[in-house]
Structure 1
Amino acid sequence: MFDARIRPLIDPPLDALGRRLAAAGLSANAITVLGLGLGLAAAVAIALDALLVGLVLLLANRLADGLDGAVARATRRTDLGGYLDIVCDFIFYGAIPLAFALRDPDGTALAAAVLLFSFYANGAAFLTFAIMAERRRLQTSRQGLKSLYYLGGLAEGAETIAVFALMCVLPQHVALIAYGFAALCLVSAVARMATALVLLRA
């Protein structure tokens, strides 16, 4: 929901840093893999109840996720880079709810499972439409330059990171936050499917 609005604010500094990293010889794919490592380390820290460490690593993961695209724009965008970016993002988004479930199985495991289900539904609506959009040569730059058609929704990257950060700051309310965001994700999935039905019927 907020991704398109914050793009004009975050892209210029990211692009400036991306050009410097590209000039230093760092590849976009290397940053993507580094980001995944940071994200998985965040999940381990959260599972071990080191929530502040997990929060810092989580934010570092998101910085890397922004920088890999900036480096790609400064050099060359590739299908491999786009593939790695999406796969690593989905692994990260799945790892964090799992980490909270492992941290407190009795209190948050069910809520984490519901959240993961909502991510699954949202991901299916999002990625399947991207395949169909590619077949029809549909394009959009609303969410910035992407390797695939990015169908916006209520629950996107910015909201997900805010929720994960909130879970780290308010661990006593993890289940409530997870249920609330799962509901938003499911609404987003339904909205994406409705949009896809309209666009694909055209």
Structure 2
Amino acid sequence: MLDTHARKYVQPFIGGAAKALLKVGLTPNQVTIISFIIGASSGVFYYFGLTIVAVIVLWLSGFLDAVDGTMARETQTSPFGTVMDVTFDRLVEISVILGIAFVFPDVQWALLLLSVSIIFSITIFLTVGAVSDKQGLKSFYYQAGLAERTEGFIFLTLMMVFPDYLLPIILIFFVIEVFTGCQRFLEAKKILK
């Protein structure tokens, strides 16, 4: 929801960073890889007790993830770039979930449910994007929903920063992901006739 409706407020910063990185000669795919490496370190930092560092690198990777897309649209998008972007996004999320799971094994069952809900929602998102004739600013149809990447980052951050409330945060995130998957499924039924 925030990615769809609040992007216009942060786009000037994203666009400025995209121009600067293009100026120094980086390609969108290189920034995607840098974003992935930074983001994947988040779970590792969290595991070693560096919560603030984990949160900072998570959000830095999210910012660079937005920047690489803007860079691609200003130069040339590539199908493989899209595959890398979507794949690496999930791996960054998995890194945080694994970091939390190793620190708090008693909530692994809830993290497993959360992971399943993310798989459910992203499967619908990607399938609709692949089979839809519609196309937006991205290289595929972007199906908005209640939980998009920014909401995911907010919940992952809350999970890392407030361990005393970890289980309820995970379960709320789970419910929101399931709702988003159902929301996307119902939209798919309407647009894919």
| Class of the TM-score when normalised by the shorter of the 2 chains | over 0.9
Partner of 1:112: 111
* Alpha-carbon offset, residue 48 of structure 1: 2.2
Give the counterpart letter for 2:38 in structure 1: L
Query: What is the 5 A alignment of 1:1-202?
Result: 1-106=1-106, 108-133=107-132, 137-140=133-136, 145-201=137-193
The DSSP-based 3-state class of the residue aligned with 2:6 is helix
- The letter of the residue matching 1:178 is I
Aligned mates of 1:68, 1:189 — CA distance in 2: 26
In structure 2, what is the Cα distance between the partners aligned to 1:147 and 1:91?
A: 20
What CA distance in whole angstroms lies between the structure 1 residues aligned with 2:96 and 2:71?
Answer: 26
Counterpart amino acid of residue 15 in structure 1: G
AA paired with 1:60? L
CA-CA distance at 1:168 after TM superposition: 2.0
> Which string of whole-angstrom CA distances, capped at 9 and with x for unpartnered residues, describes residues 18-69 of structure 1?
1121011011111111111111111111122321111111111111111111
**Whole-Å separation in 2 of the counterparts to 1:116 and 1:70:** 28
1:131 Cα deviation after fit: 1.3
Aligned-partner Cα distance in 1 for 2:43–2:111 = 13
Q: Secondary structure at the match of 2:192?
A: helix
Q: Do the aligned partners of residues 146 and 13 (structure 1) sit closer, same or farther apart at CA in structure 2, a change above 3 Å counting?
A: same
TM-score (norm 2): 0.95
Contact 1:46 1:100 in 2 (8 A): yes
Aligned residues: 193
Amino acid at match of 1:88: F
Aligned-partner Cα distance in 2 for 1:196–1:116:
22
| In 2, Cα distance between equivalents of 1:51 and 1:68 | 26
CA RMSD across the alignment: 1.2
Instruction: Report the secondary structure of 2:36's partner residue.
Output: helix
In 1, the alpha carbon distance for the partners of 2:134 and 2:139 equals: 12
Distance (Å, rounded) in 2 between the aligned partners of 1:109 and 1:49: 18
TM-score in terms of structure 1 length? 0.91
> What are structure 2's unaligned runs of at least 5 residues?
none
Once residues 139 and 28 of structure 1 are traced to their aligned partners in structure 2, the CA distance between those partners, rounded to angstroms, is: 20
Contact 1:40–1:95 (8 Å) recurs in 2: yes
Q: Give me the whole-angstrom Cα distance separating, in 2, the residues matched to 1:70 and 1:199.
A: 27
Distance 1:100 1:86 in 2: 22
Q: Which runs of 4+ in 1 moved over 6 A?
A: none
**Partners of 1:71 and 1:192 in 2: CA distance:** 27
Residues in 1 aligned to 2:87 and 2:112: alpha-carbon distance in whole angstroms: 20
